[in-house]
Structures are given as C-alpha cells and as structure tokens.
A and B are shown apart, each in its own frame.
Chain A
C-alpha cells in the first residue's frame, strides 16, 4: 500500500487528510499516483491539477517522475508559507 497524505488547502478541498492506495502499474511515479487519484473524483481531479501542487516522497520534496514503490509515504500540498 502507498500511504497518501494531503495538507493545507489541498487537504481542505479534497476533504480528507489521507488515503491508502494499492500499489500498481499506474502508481509507479509521483505523476502516475497523482493521475490515479485524480481519476477517482472530479473534485480531486481539479485540486490535483494545480500547477502549484508539490509532492514529497518519503518526506522529501520530489519531482513528478520520482519512482514510487509499495510502502512509500507520498504527500501532496501547496507551496509552503511558514515563518
């Protein structure tokens, strides 16, 4: 399973803090996982299509072609605004 997390307005708009996704052929990259999640719901598709969306794989900011394997933690969130 891939542990997917959402933060800030991404979490708020999607309506959940996270989901578990079965690892498969379509989830082998961050982009693949994003597309798989987007296909499940119109609202999710809209939120996950944002060109400002960031992805972290195992708690490290990553690129969209970063490989994803079973057991990974993948987080989607907007640009950070702390400090």
Chain B
C-alpha cells in the first residue's frame, strides 16, 4: 500500500495492519524523522515538495521491484509532504515476509530506492535561512549496491 499525505501516521496502527497474517514470521519497519542537523548546520523545520502523480507511480514501481526480488506479503510505504517540525515522522516503510532476511533486505532496498528515485525534495529551514537539500552521493551509492 502506497500513501503520500500531509498528515502524520501512527506506527502501532500501521504495524497492526500489516502484521495480521500468521504465515508471516517477520515484520520489519523503518521510520525516517526530521533531525536537528544536516551538514553541520542546525535545522529547525523541513518542507517536503513532491510531484503528484509521478510520486505514486514511482513508489508503486519500487514496491513491484521489491516483490520481484523477495517473497513479501504486506508492503506499506507512507511518505509525508508539506511542512514538518523537528522530530516529526517523514516516512514509514513496513514489510512482512515468512522470514527475516527477505523482510530486512526489502525494507532497506525500499528506502534506498525511494531516496534516489521518488520525486520528493526537502527544503530545510535553520539558523542560516532556507536551503534545498543537496542529493547525496552516498544515497546514490547505496541504491547502486542493489544492482544485480
């Protein structure tokens, strides 16, 4: 399930939704949050912009790719857009599978691909004004590690 939304999400609720099937022995979740620094500068809040339509299409594609690689049961990807304060949740990824290895790997694959392929952009506000976050080579390298 893919959701792009301005409102916050509730982790226990999302966990409950994906963890009902007793054929799943593994549930792996990841939450990305707004942290108080980036590149050595203080960050006070964050605004996420996205490309409506394309975002959902890319997230669906990334989910399909993960399902081709690992035997997954439930997959949830939630990404927030708009203004967020320090400490707020930005992104949720939840994956279930019979075994832990597939669930861990798929969760990491999903966040690596989401960070480099999905059209979201972060605008950070801090003590030095507002800045668009630069894409990081490390994120690109992390996504490349999954090349077959």
A-to-B contact residues, CB < 8 Å:
5, 7-9, 12, 52, 56, 59-61, 75, 77-83
Please state if B51 and A77 are interface contacts (CB–CB under 8 Å): yes
- Interface segment, one of B18-26, B65-73, B108-116: B108-116
Which listed residue, A60, A77, A82, touches B48 by the CB 8 Å rule? A82
Given contacts A8-B121, A56-B51, A59-B54, contact A79 B132 (CB under 8 A): no
Please state if A81 and B121 are interface contacts (CB–CB under 8 Å): yes
Give the residues in chain B near A78, CB-CB below 8 Å: 121, 132, 135
Please state if A59 and B53 are interface contacts (CB–CB under 8 Å): yes
Distance from B71 Cβ to chain A, minimum over Cβ atoms (Å): 25
- In the bound complex, what is the Cα–Cα distance between A45 and B28 (angstroms)? 46
Distance from A40 Cβ to chain B, minimum over Cβ atoms (Å): 23
B-to-A contact residues, CB < 8 Å:
32, 48-51, 53-54, 57, 79, 90-91, 111, 114-123, 132-136, 139
Counting chain B CB atoms within 10 Å of each CB, the highest count among A59, A61, A75 belongs to A59
**Who on chain B is nearest to A11 by CB?**
B49
- In the bound complex, what is the Cα–Cα distance between A81 and B135 (angstroms)? 5
Please state if A7 and B51 are interface contacts (CB–CB under 8 Å): yes
- In the bound complex, what is the Cα–Cα distance between A5 and B54 (angstroms)? 12
Please state if B51 and A75 are interface contacts (CB–CB under 8 Å): yes
19 A-B residue pairs with Cβ-Cβ distance under 8 Å, sorted by A, are A7-B119, A7-B121, A8-B123, A12-B132, A56-B54, A60-B54, A75-B119, A77-B51, A78-B135, A80-B121, A80-B135, A81-B115, A81-B120, A81-B122, A81-B133, A81-B135, A82-B119, A83-B32, A83-B79
Q: Which 4 A-B pairs have the closest CB atoms?
A: A82-B120, A79-B135, A8-B121, A83-B115
Given contacts A77-B119, A78-B121, contact A83 B51 (CB under 8 A): no
Distance from B120 Cβ to chain A, minimum over Cβ atoms (Å): 3
Given contacts A78-B132, A82-B79, contact A56 B90 (CB under 8 A): no
